[in-house]
Chains A and B, each alone.
Chain A
Amino acid sequence: MNRNYELMFIVRPDMVDEDLNKLISTLESSVTTAGGTAKSEVWGKRRLAYRVGRFNDGIFVLMMIEATGAVVHEVERRLRVTEPVIKFLTVRTDEELKRLDKIKKIRDSKKKASATPAPVAAPVTPATPEAGTETPASAPV
């Protein structure tokens, strides 16, 4: 019953790269040992929209986790305790992914249905079927 989560956290800007990597690998390993997958991206230093703690900038890190809720709870607990982490936000994304998949499937099946007449008419009028499928996508100016 693994769910997909996106965990974004902000680390204080004066943190060293190696410490940051160490922190990330500790968190990732805590997820994988509990039976899940984790992938992280470091966004780098960005200006914050408002002052958090004493800082106006922060290093943003995004982690994509696929695990159970208990594992994520544990990761969050660790983040709360870790001193350099100043803010974090967890978003559950599996419902959203499901919805997007569904929409994509519907769109793909629609495209296939409208694409079948195209190869027949292709040698005669190559422009028309293309225009027919393209007009809904491009808003006429």
Chain B
Amino acid sequence: MAEETKTPSARVGSSGGESRPERSERPERSGPRGPRPGGGPGGPREGGRKYFRRKKVCKFCVEKIEAVNYKDVRLLAQFVAESGKITPRRLTGVCTPHQRRLSRAIKQARNIALLPFAGRAQ
């Protein structure tokens, strides 16, 4: 797919052209580089920044959380937007294998009414 090359037209999101090539070239596990916690309030969630973006590290890799269970709603709710949608990994900085597991867990949690499909989680 054209995900790795510089095709800004394909993306609808507001991320700048410069940040995306950086992201694809950077190794997914930012652990060995000396992890800087990108935690805390991850800045503007809707991605208004164009140039400077802090190096985001994968929360799961840093804290060595291996099992993402559909049952820990509090952990999952951090990766779900206000609308109930799953936040993309370019905003949260999660690495690909963990994002896949996370998304699977969120969908399971939605099915068992632990997370909403749409709208705020009470």
> Which residues from chain A sit less than 8 Å from chain B, CB to CB?
8, 10, 47-50, 52, 58, 62, 87-89, 91, 96, 99-100, 103, 136-137, 139-141
Chain B residues within 8 Å of A, Cβ to Cβ: 31, 34-37, 57, 62-64, 66-67, 70-71, 108, 110-117, 119, 121-122
Q: How far is the CB of A17 from chain B (nearest CB, A)?
A: 21
Do the beta carbons of A49 and B121 come within 8 Å of each other?
yes
Complex-state Cα separation, A139 to B60, whole angstroms: 12
Cross-chain contact of B113 among A52, A62, A100, A140 (Cβ < 8 A): A52
Neighbouring B residues of A89 by C-beta, 8 Å? 70, 108, 111-112
Contacts of A141 in B (CB 8 A): 37
**A interface secondary structure, majority:** strand
Report whether A139 and B62 are in contact in the complex, using a CB–CB cutoff of 8 Å: yes
User: Do B113 and A50 touch across chains, with their CB atoms under 8 A apart?
Assistant: yes
